[in-house]
Amino acid sequence: MASRLPIGIQDFRTIREHDFYYVDKTPHVRKLVDEGRFYFLSRPRRFGKSLLLDTLGSLFEGQEELFRGLDIHEHWDWSVTHPVVRLSFDGKYNEPEDLERSILNQLTLIEHAAGLDPSRPVGTGPERLQAVLYHLHQAKGQQVVVLVDEYDKPILDVLHDPDLATANRDYLRGFYGIIKGSAKHVRFVFVIGVSMFSKVSLFSGLNNLEDISLSPRYATVCGYTDEDIDEVFGPELDGLDREKVRTWYNGYHWRGGEKVYNPYDVLLLLRNREFRPYWFETGSPTFLFRMLMEKSVSPMELESRVADMSLVSKFDVNDIGIEALLFQTGYLTIADELQEGFKTYYRLDYPNLEVQLSLNDQLLGYLGKTGKKPLDQGRELRGLLEANDFEGFGDVLRAYLSGIPYQWHATGDLARYEAWYASLLHMCFRAIGVDVRAEDASSHGRADMVVLTGGQVFVLEFKMADGAGDAEAALDAAIGQMQERGYAEKYRDRGEPVHLIGVACGREARNLLEIRAEPA
């Protein structure tokens, strides 16, 4: 008989006692406990972080019956148990007093459950935590395990209010610092969240945390691997196109060579038997879209973005790098590692089809292109290209570009205009799953865009013109550049027709002026 799908269940006991499928993460847990004491892990939302924490808590509490049949069962001393302090910041933190109230409420429940003397003097959150760690150690005779879930939510909730975000960050810095100051009472610490706030800004008082977020040894500590899905969920796969499952949902990569799936996607797919953006629909990246606009980042620049370790981990209240935001929230992942001398760089890209389609679709909505219209126009544009109806393609593209937001024209940099116009077309194609490549590199330069569809190759170059009278010159320059630099040559081996398409956009008209296509 098949097991049940643990959709939305983060409680280890419930999963083990009620015949739910469980992917055994205890080999990672055993390694964590054997090799260290203080850990930090960042992963995007709904990646199984809370279940991992609860598994650790159940282990240290000695709940042996839950671990029978799992890897760690024969490698653990069940005669030794530890008191566990669980802290979770999954509430709302929109007011200045919300954070300390949450902490004090949680500590009160911990004290009550542990039977600690309620007559002790009441203090601040950090003072109460210090007292709890001391008294639990003394009362139980074993050091305390501290597990912190969503450590960063009190800050992320109020990033739109920098003063409150800074105040919450500073409060948490002191609160977490108590853990290091009480190290003699602490056996093990595991802190998890979405973002990677720097140790200087948030963990200066707990700077002995080992950040395993990008450790190849723990790349699969959260999420499902291909092997996990085949071995654990095999009874549920009948009737599903396995390769389509990979294309839609596999691809998250934190080094280590193996890619993983978001568990939420997999479980909803197995229940509903329908390919949909389940994970993406659980959150709205409005803050990300606003940041892209503020920093004038073209959506085409999201793909194949190269960053070093400092950029993907750069995150603080007043200093949030776009690479860090995209990577840590799960909208981009590590596609390749590049070694240059003694320095390692990461090429970032969409993890899978779900994120590619959904992010571009929602970004179009953020820019005012809502509903089915942009997707319908995208399909129409694709069809016109495949039919080699370039005049019709120009007419539909002109109608599509007419909705470009005013703020996208605010820069005085003429070259940026070309990128913005190309970005709208790029997003449109990406939102319907067309194979489109931005800034496609050849040995002599980079084509603005290459579209591969209908057994043909279309190389597009965008140029700006001051007015309609300059459009022909702009098209001459676009076609000439593609010919001189041999943009089509890398596609000759495909044996498919290659078309060079020049697109002239008007600076004053803020739209397409003319289009010209020639065979390569």
- Flag whether pLDDT at 259 surpasses 50: yes
Q: Mean pLDDT score of the chain, rounded to an integer?
A: 89
Residue 1: inside a domain: no
What local confidence, expressed as pLDDT, does residue 117 receive? Answer: 67
Q: Within a domain: residue 238?
A: no
Q: Give 22-68 pLDDT, tens digit per residue.
A: 999 999 999 999 999 999 999 999 999 999 999 999 999 999 999 99
For β-strands 144-149 and 84-88, DSSP reports them as: parallel
Checking 230-236 for CB contacts under 8 A at 24+ apart, the result is: 232/21, 232/22, 232/23, 233/21, 233/266, 233/270, 235/2, 235/3, 236/2, 236/5, 236/270
User: Is the predicted pLDDT of residue 176 greater than 50, yes or no?
Assistant: yes
Residue 304: per-residue pLDDT: 80
Least confident of 8-17, 240-249, 313-322, 507-516: 313-322
More confident residue, 499 or 296: 499
CA-wise closest residue to 266 among 293, 246, 287: 246
Give mean pLDDT, residues 414-426.
74
- What is the torsion angle, in degrees rounded to the nearest 10, for the CA atoms of residue 90, residue 91, residue 93 and residue 97? -120
Residue 32 lies in a domain: yes
Going by C-alpha positions, the residue among 224, 227, 226 that lies closest to residue 279 is 224
**Which residues span the domain enclosing 480?**
368-519
Q: Are 187 and 37 in contact (CB under 8 A)?
A: yes
Does residue 405 surpass a pLDDT of 70? Answer: no
Look at residues 218, 250, 275 and tell me which one is the last residue of a structural domain: 218
pLDDT confidence of residue 160: 86
8 Å CB contact between 109 and 130: no
Say if 18 falls within a structural domain: no
**Residue 54 to residue 67: CA distance in whole angstroms:** 13
The closest of 127, 134, 215, 205 to 173, measured between CA atoms, is 205
Query: What pLDDT, on a 0 to 100 scale, did the predictor assign at position 412?
Result: 46
Is the pLDDT reported for residue 1 higher than 60? no
Residue 390 sits in the same domain as residue 319: no
Angle at 307 between CA 304 and CA 312, to 5 degrees: 115
CATH number at residue 72: 3.40.50.300
- Taking only the tens place, the pLDDT of each residue in 341-385 is 888 899 999 999 999 999 988 888 887 666 567 788 899 999 999
The answer to whether residues 327 and 426 belong to one domain is no
Of 185, 218, 251, which one is at a domain's C-terminal end? Answer: 218
Q: Is residue 8 part of a domain?
A: no
339 and 372 part of one domain:
no
Domain count, the chain: 3
Cβ-contact 92, 98 below 8 angstroms: yes
Q: Is residue 4 part of a domain?
A: no
340 and 376 together in one domain: no
Query: To the nearest whole percent, how much of the chain has pLDDT over 90?
Result: 64
Q: Answer whether residue 83 shows pLDDT above 60.
A: yes
One domain for residues 327 and 376: no
Distance of CA 215 to the CA centre of its chain: 17
Residue 322 CA to residue 52 CA, distance in Å, equals: 28
8 Å CB contact between 275 and 266: no
User: Do residues 323 and 309 make contact, with C-beta atoms less than 8 angstroms apart?
Assistant: no
- What is the arithmetic mean of pLDDT over 86-104? 93
Higher-confidence residue of 187 and 308: namely 187
In a shared domain, residues 337 and 452: no
Question: Do 404 and 334 belong to one domain?
Answer: no
70 and 172, same structural domain? yes
Q: For residues 215 and 220, what is the distance between their CA atoms, to the nearest angstrom? A: 10
- In whole angstroms, give the CA distance from residue 313 to residue 324: 5
**H/E stretch holding 375:** helix 373-386
In a shared domain, residues 32 and 176: yes
Given a contact cutoff of 8 angstroms between Cβ atoms, the answer to whether 480 and 520 are in contact is no
Backbone angles phi, psi at 367, to 5 degrees: -90, 10
Task: Look at the block and give the residue holding tokens 């990646």.
Answer: 47
pTM of the model: 0.89
Residue 118 pLDDT exceeds 60: no
Q: pLDDT-derived band of residue 453, with 50, 70 and 90 as boundaries?
A: very high
464 in a domain, yes or no? yes
pLDDT digits (tens, 9 = 90+) for 469-515: 899 999 999 999 999 999 998 898 899 999 999 999 988 887 899 99
Query: If you write DSSP's letter for every residue of 83-136 in order, what string do you get?
Result: -EEEEE--S---STTHHHHHHHHHHHHHHHHHT--TTSPP--HHHHHHHHHHHH
Q: Which long-range contacts (CB under 8 A, 24 or more apart) does 7-14 make?
A: 7/264, 7/267, 7/268, 7/271, 9/51, 10/50, 10/51, 10/54, 11/51, 11/54, 12/51, 12/54, 12/55, 12/57, 12/58, 12/66, 13/54, 13/58, 13/63, 13/66
The contacts of residue 23 (CB under 8 Å, 6+ apart) are 224, 228, 232, 263
Last residue of a domain, one of 164, 187, 218: 218
Residues 63 and 146 in one domain: yes
